[in-house]
Structure 1
Amino acid sequence: MNLDLGDDAKEYGRQALRAFEAAGGDQLVQQAEAKPDTRDGLVGPVLNELGAWELDPRTDADGLEAAAALCRSAGYWALPYPVAERLAKPTDLDTDGLVVVAANHPSAAIGGVETRWAAVTLAGIRSTVTGHGDTGPAFVAPLELAETDRNGAGDLALALVLPCWTLLGMLDRAVELTIAHISLRKQFGQSLSAFQGVQFQLTDAEVERSGMEILAKYALWSAGSNKPEALVDALALRMAALEAAEVVFRVCHQLHGAVGFCDETTLSWLSRYSLPLRRLPLGLSATRDELSRRAGRSGLTGLYA
């Protein structure tokens, strides 16, 4: 078991970070929100240059690690594009991406990206996306589906794990922004970072973020190894990721103060665009229920035991 990405994958992630920054960085999501139909044109050429769609995360171990690194870099910039969902596409369907959806009222953050999408429920029911309703906040749109088969159980683990890597990138940035903020702001003649209460809060956030990072690496290895319990590991990661996101964004917003909820701050954009990842296809309580049902009496293995 190797719980770290290879050097090539790490370098690929760094190159992606620089490429997204050069393409506009934080301005990309703001431009895409103003004109959702342009998000493909804003981001697509950069991803093509990076060779994103040449990665093969389902059958190639190196491609899997590179895909995870790319998703993390996309999350860091709140990239307005469903990178993880494109990379999770199944190998036996003629589609360009895969989204995990709820059985009732399926929806996904793919509004404005006109490509061939497949959808799969946690019961393994696969469908093609034949259309979608109006695009709402954070590009979420209700989906119109046509069922194709019920053989999607093998697609689920990777399709759940990669979006968690996107969320991890968002948490990386949120903590980084908050450290910079409390280092610059002064209260009673000293920087906020000097106060013990602030240090305790930030430590809580970092413990959650770093713990999620370790679990993300384990779940990625589990999915790539085609372990029988890979789906349970993916659900355990998702539960941990949602819990971490709740703590990290709460602490980061508190330490930013009221300004953290204003669009002038990057944290506000990160927080807003993390919501589809945290709520779709299941929120925290529903994810816990699904994990409990699947883990059953046998419980969890590996790092989760």
Structure 2
Amino acid sequence: MNIDLSPEAAEYGRQALRAFEAAGGDELVRRTEAEPKRRAALVGPVLDGLGALDLDPRGDARELEAAAALCRAAGHFAVPFPVAERLSRPTGLGTDGLLVVDRARPSGAVAGLDLRWTAVTLDGHRTGAVARAPEGPPRTSAFVTELDLEPLDGDGDGARDLALGLVLPCWTLLGMLDRAIDLTRRHVLVREQFGQVLARFQGVRFQLTEAEVERSGVEALAKYALWSVQARRDEAVDDALALRLAAVEAADVVFRVAHQLHGAIGFCDEAFLSWLSRYSLPLRRLPLGPSGTRDLLARRLGRRGLTGLFGDARERAAR
């Protein structure tokens, strides 16, 4: 088992970072919020230039890794576009993307896009999905809107849809955690208090270390869950839910530390951390938040537990 991304996928991710930066970088989300009708026009050409929608994440393992690297790059700049959802679109249905939804209140960050959606519920049932008109501006909604579910013709592998549809958005959230840590590290290296930079205070170092431990744990689990999807493991959905739970819990820690160490400026729009934190919320809350994800994973696993990274060691200990 090799869970590291291939060199080609890693390089593709670096190229994606450069492409998003050239297209405006941090300004992309600001411009999109100011001109929500241009959402697709601002981001679409970048994806076209990268050949993103030519990737086949379902059919080729290397292209799945490239898709994950692209999602991580999009998260770095809080790109206000459903990149992961577009990349995880099912084949043979003629739709443009895949959304994982909670049947009780299906929602997605897809307001204002003229796209056709397939939805998969948390029990692996495929449906069509039509976005309603948003109830509020992007400033307060981060483009989240409710969805109307409708019957969908054609059979499919709902479990594979669910696993892929959960894993790729976690790579976007991982990119956001990367950036939040980087912004905070830069801030404490230049901000002075009591005659010395914040980075010299032991309490600050402890907080940053806690946040980085959480982020690095998500990175390892993201690579493992991606491999699980590649290998078409029976446990791929369980691994995807375990990743999602770790990612949303880590996001709570990372953004808490980042806001605390930035102080009041961390909640002001002149600091990109504010935008990053706000646009991370749909990824952290949809389709379920931490408690709902934990409950779903516990109900799926019952008494058998995860077989993940430490399954073999657990079995050896039992013997």
Task: Give the TM-score taking structure 1 as reference length.
Answer: 0.98
Q: Does 1:270 align with 2:276?
A: yes
User: In structure 1, what residue type is equivalent to 2:262?
Assistant: H
From 241, 256, 280, the counterpart of 1:235: 241
In the alignment, what sits opposite 1:282?
A: 288
The aligned runs of 1:78-89 (5 Å cut-off) are 78-89=78-89
Quote the residue 2:214 is aligned against.
Answer: 208
Aligned counterpart, 2:317: none
Q: Is the 8 A contact 1:133 1:143 kept in 2?
A: no
| Structure 2 residue aligned with 1:138 | 142
2:261 maps to what in 1?
A: 255
SS in 2 for 1:81: coil
Give the AA of the match of 1:122: L
Q: CA deviation at 1:130?
A: 3.1
SS at match of 2:128: strand
* CA deviation map 1:233-283 (0-9, x unaligned): 000000000111000000000000011000110000000000000000000
Partner Cα separation in structure 2 for residue 295 and residue 145 of structure 1: 28
Match of 1:21 in 2: 21
Alignment equivalent of 1:147, drawn from 151, 157, 161: 151
Please give the per-residue CA displacement for 1:117-159, whole angstroms capped at 9, x wherever unaligned: 1111011221112342325410001111212267522210010
Matched-pair contact (CA < 8 Å) for 1:120–1:156: yes
In the superposition, relative to structure 1, how do residues 131 and 243 fare at CA in structure 2: closer, same or farther (>3 Å)?
closer
Q: Which blocks of at least 5 consecutive residues in structure 2 are unaligned?
A: 312-319
Tell me which residue corresponds to 2:52: 52
User: Deviation at 1:297?
Assistant: 1.4
State the Cα distance separating 1:189 from its structure 2 match. 1.1
Match of 1:124 in 2: 124
1:245 partner SS: helix
The amino acid across from 2:179 in the alignment is: R
Select 2:226's aligned residue among 216, 220, 230.
220
Q: Which secondary structure does the structure 2 equivalent of 1:303 belong to?
A: coil
Map 1:79-118 onto structure 2 (within 5 A). 79-118=79-118
For the aligned residue pairs, the C-alpha RMSD in angstroms reads 1.1
Deviation at 1:304, TM superposition (A): 5.7
Amino acid at match of 2:150: A
Cα distance between partner residues in 1 of 2:47 and 2:214? 30
Name the CA distance, whole Å, in 2 between partners of 1:193 and 1:251: 13
SS state at 2:119 partner: strand
Q: Distance in 2 between matches of 1:16 and 1:24?
A: 13
Distance between the aligned counterparts of 1:69 and 1:232, measured in 2?
Answer: 22
| Corresponding residue to 1:192 among 186, 195, 198 | 198
Q: What corresponds to 1:67 in structure 2?
A: 67
Cα distance in 1 between the residues matched to 2:276 and 2:307:
32
For structure 1, the residue ranges without an aligned partner over 5 or more in a row are none
Question: Structure 2: which amino acid aligns with 1:210?
Answer: S
Q: Which amino acid aligns with 1:169?
A: G
The letter for the 2-side match of 1:102 is D
* Cα distance in 2 for residues equivalent to 1:202 and 1:131: 39
Alignment partners' CA distance in 1, 2:77 and 2:240: 24
Amino acid paired to 1:21 = E
Give structure 1 regions of 4+ aligned residues with deviation exceeding 3 angstroms: none
Query: May I ask how many residue pairs the two structures share in their alignment?
Result: 305
1:212-235 deviation per Cα after TM superposition (whole angstroms, max 9, x unaligned): 100000000001110000000000
Residues 1:4 and 2:4 aligned together: yes
The answer to whether the Cα contact below 8 Å between 1:135 and 1:141 also exists between their aligned partners in 2 is yes
Aligned residue among 151, 163, 170 for 1:164 = 170
Mean Cα displacement is larger for which, 150-159 or 173-182? Answer: 150-159
TM (normalized to structure 2)?
A: 0.93
Partner SS for 1:100: strand
Does the CA-based 8 Å contact 2:118-2:129 persist in structure 1?
yes
- Find the aligned partners of 2:149 and 2:35 in 1 and give their Cα distance: 25
Contact 1:3–1:221 (8 Å) recurs in 2: yes
Instruction: Give the distance between the partners of 1:129 and 1:91, measured in 2 at CA.
Output: 16
* Structure 1 equivalent of residue 181 of structure 2: 175
Percent of aligned pairs sharing the same letter = 67
Matched, 1:245 2:254: no
| Cα distance in 2, alignment partners of residues 13 and 83 from structure 1 | 13
- Which residue identity lines up with residue 165 of structure 2 in the other structure? A
One-letter identity of the residue aligned with 1:209: R
